[in-house]
Chain A
Amino acid sequence: MVALDLAQNTLDGLMVGSSYALLAIGFTLIFGVMRRLNLAYGPTIMAGVYLGTAAFISLGAPILVVLAIVILGASLVGLYVERLCFRPFGEGARTASMVASFALWMQIEEAAMHLLPRHMNPFPALVASAPLEIGPLMLRADHLVMLAATLLIAGAATYLLARTKLGLAIRAVIDQPRAAAIVGIDVERVMMLTFVLASAIGGIAGFLIAATDAQVTAMIGMWATTKGLVAMMLGGLGSVKGAIAGGLLLGVLEAHAQWFLGPQVRDMVAWGLLFVLLAFWPGGLMGAKALDRTMAVGRRV
């Protein structure tokens, strides 16, 4: 029955991995334009999800309203993080931005705990139907929704980056911020829009995760930051495709490790893989080596 277990685990892993992929896309977008790490990304998502949950608990808001609140909340908090941690610093003060975002992580998490003090809170469930059976394999309907949403958002993000004027501006800023400014792109505005966009994508990811579990715990902020970071690093920085590959790989790997070795080893496997990849193959799966090289040049000039 090992083959069946393997197949079932892989399937489950792909589904969970799709949420990691969404988180990684958001991280990658922010890292791409800012070249700085936003540690407050997970807590931003947490803030949105907590606002949605609060509306659900106290007002009995229907699920679509909750989704809207989550996205809006995450975007607004994302804007706050951008204003306080990224806008005031030049690219030179990378560490300062990162530490400031960590400071806001602490702040947002404590504020969220004041909003909903309990460790675990109910969240509206996505689909309450019985799992589908495909031959001997089981498939949860809400997991399918999650996968579909991921593919949809990834497609939309790719379209936005490749085909629209804003996407062109974003890519220009990612490639050469100074040159982008010279040709008349409002770099600060592009950065802000990307930041808000990434926060909104994170909000959707947080919503899907909470809705699949039908609950949300105080760990979601930390969870989203670490999973998103690992998935992004596995895929290599700065590419949407890499983020998806990294997220799915992480999901599958964790599912197998959990099944065969237990939940503690599961987490260790993800970190272990990341460590080995970084130490011996720092470009990641689909690493944007070119991006790295331009960054090195940018630092020197």
Chain B
Amino acid sequence: MDGFLITVLSNIGMISFVALSAYILLLSGQISFGQQAYFGIGAYVAGIATVMWSWPLAAALVLGAFVAGAAAGLVGLVTLRLSGIYFAMATLAFAEIMRIAAELFVYRREIGGIETGPDGIDGFRDIRYLFANDISPFQSCLIVYALLVAVLATLFIVERTRGGRMLRQVGEDPLLAEVNGIDVMRVRIAAALSAGAVAGLGGGLYAHLLTYVEPRSFDIMLGVHALAYGLIGGLGTALGPLLGVLIDIGLLESTRVFRGYRMIVFGGLVAVLLIVRPRGLLDEVAISRIRQALRRWRHAGD
């Protein structure tokens, strides 16, 4: 495979984590503009762990996801009783605070004779773990997709459990869910926590694959894009957000046909698409039709 294709595939994989993160919150009925904050936290924490503390990559990624999830849970505690635009604004405010904090964050140390570490607005450069350990771009792409498949599998399994049904019910009608004896706040905090961890995992991968991360990498654009991916791709299945990422990065950013006009095409496309399908291409109705068709096909085979 050539280098360009691998880069595009890795990008699609990494951005998918943020898209899935926004999707988990959308399922719980909350719109977050701020999932990029946890992406950034994961990126910085995981980067610091491998570069400054010489941790192995796996442990660093786990730490990044853990810290991001914990932060998301804490933010959730104070913001999740808000809803709609209030919640969206609170998450955006937190993400912008984190981004500016990263601009002010300097933590430099000498490692192996070279001074390194996060350097304020210039970001955190030379995260050379993959390079130093002879992991090729193709192998790192495989790591990204292995983790993505793991997250997806977890989501699919959870969606089939009681917890997953509770999540959708809370998203569709919190009052009804409450009447049915569901602890809405607890479900929402659990959703926020796991969404934060998923975004943090993606951030950790991002920092290592690109070898750098800067405050600008997780500005509001990333957050709103992540949200849009779920809504274009569809809210019926965890594959929806992935389809959204694939359409945007795979089709528009990476093919050169639309160079210079990508956003004009993408913007118009999304606006029109949402008129036709307000819950995305793979919405709940489409998913249940596909399931039915699959079932019929299976019975026909018997």
Chain A contact residues, CB within 8 Å of chain B: 31, 37, 39, 84-85, 88-89, 93-96, 98-100, 102-111, 114, 222, 226, 229-230, 233, 237, 264-265, 267-268, 271-272, 274-275, 278-280, 282, 300
Residues from chain A with Cβ under 8 Å of B175 in the complex: 300
Other A-B pairs beyond A279-B79, A279-B82, 7, CB < 8 Å: A102-B227, A226-B220, A264-B103, A271-B96, A271-B100, A274-B89, A282-B86
Asked whether, in the complex, the Cβ of B227 is within 8 Å of the Cβ of A104, the reply is no
Q: Report chain A residues within 8 Å CB of B78.
A: 279-280
Contacts of A93 in B (CB 8 A): 274, 278
The smallest beta-carbon distance between B92 and chain A, in angstroms, is: 8
Q: A229-B89, A264-B103, A300-B175 are in contact. Are A282 and B82 (CB under 8 A)?
A: yes
**Bound-state Cα–Cα, A229 to B33, Å:** 13
- With a CB–CB cut-off of 8 A, which chain A residues contact B279? 96
Across the interface, which residues of A come within 8 angstroms of B278, CB to CB?
A: 89, 93, 96
Mark contacts of B68-97 with chain A using CB atoms, 8 A cut-off: 1 yes-contact digit, 0 otherwise: 000000000011001011101110011011
B260 to chain A, nearest CB (A): 7
Closest 4 CB pairs of A and B: A107-B267, A103-B270, A110-B263, A275-B93
Return chain B residues, CB-CB under 8 Å to A222. Answer: 220
Contact in complex: B264, A111 (CB < 8 Å): yes
Name the CB-closest residue of B to A109.
B263
The number of chain B residues with a CB under 8 A from chain A is 43
Shortest beta-carbon distance from A94 to chain B in Å: 7
In the complex, which residues 222-267 of chain B have their Cβ closer than 8 Å to any Cβ of chain A? 224, 227-228, 231-232, 260-264, 266-267
Q: Is B268 an interface residue (CB 8 A)?
A: yes
The answer to whether B264 touches A100 (Cβ under 8 A) is: no
Q: Could you say which of B79, B85, B96 contacts A267, with CB atoms under 8 Å apart?
A: B96
Contact between A105 and B267, CB atoms less than 8 A apart: yes
Cβ B89 vs Cβ A233 within 8 A: yes
Docked CA distance A17–B211 (Å): 41
Query: Complex Cα distance A251/B34, Å?
Result: 24
What are the interface flags for B156-177 relative to A under an 8 Å C-beta threshold, 1 for contact and 0 otherwise? Answer: 0000000000000000000100
Tell me whether A272 and B227 are in contact (CB under 8 A): no
What are 16 of the A-B contact pairs (CB < 8 Å)? A88-B275, A93-B274, A94-B84, A95-B26, A98-B88, A99-B270, A100-B270, A102-B228, A103-B266, A103-B271, A104-B267, A111-B264, A265-B100, A267-B96, A272-B97, A278-B89
Of chain B, the residue at the smallest CB distance from A229 is B89
Of all chain B residues, the one with the shortest Cβ separation from A275 is B93
Query: A98 CA to B78 CA in the complex, in Å?
Result: 24
Kindly provide the distance from the CB of B76 to the nearest chain A CB, expressed in whole angstroms: 11
CB distance from B69 to the nearest CB of A (A): 19
Cα of A98 to Cα of B270 in the assembled complex, Å? 11
The docked-state distance in angstroms from the alpha carbon of A95 to that of B224 is 12
Are B89 and A99 touching (Cβ within 8 A)? Answer: no
Question: Measured between alpha carbons, how far is A230 from B227 in the docked complex, in Å?
Answer: 20
Q: Does B31 contact A (CB under 8 A)?
A: yes
In the complex, the answer to whether B231 meets A99 with C-beta atoms within 8 Å is: yes
| A-side contacts of B82, CB under 8 Å | 278-279, 282
Give complex CA distance A37, B85 in Å: 7
B241–chain A nearest beta-carbon distance, Å: 13
Report how far A127 CA is from B209 CA in the complex, Å: 52
Measured CA separation A39–B221 after assembly (Å): 12
- With contact pairs A275-B94, A300-B175 given, residues A110 and B86 touching in the complex (Cβ less than 8 Å): no
A300 to B174, CA, bound (A): 11
Return chain B residues, CB-CB under 8 Å to A107.
263-264, 266-268, 271
Which residues does chain A contribute within 8 Å of B224, judged by CB atoms? 39, 102
Flag if A271 contacts B266 (CB, 8 Å). Answer: no
Expressed in whole angstroms, the minimum distance between the Cβ of B194 and any Cβ of chain A is 20
B58: interface (CB < 8 Å): no
Q: Chain B contacts of A114 at CB under 8 A? A: 260
Across-interface contacts of A85 in B (CB, < 8 A) = 271
Q: Give the distance in Å from the alpha carbon of A31 to the alpha carbon of B89 in the complex.
A: 14
Which residue of A is nearest B104, CB measured? Answer: A264
Inter-chain contacts of A104 with B (CB < 8 A): 267, 271
Q: How far, in whole Å, are A233 and B93 apart by their CA atoms in the complex? A: 11
Instruction: Assess whether B100 is in contact with A268, with CB atoms less than 8 Å apart.
Output: yes
- Contact A110 to B261, CB < 8 A, known contacts A99-B227, A99-B274: yes
Q: How far is the CA of A96 from the CA of B281 in the complex (A)?
A: 13
Contact A100:B100 (CB < 8 A) given known A93-B278, A94-B84? no
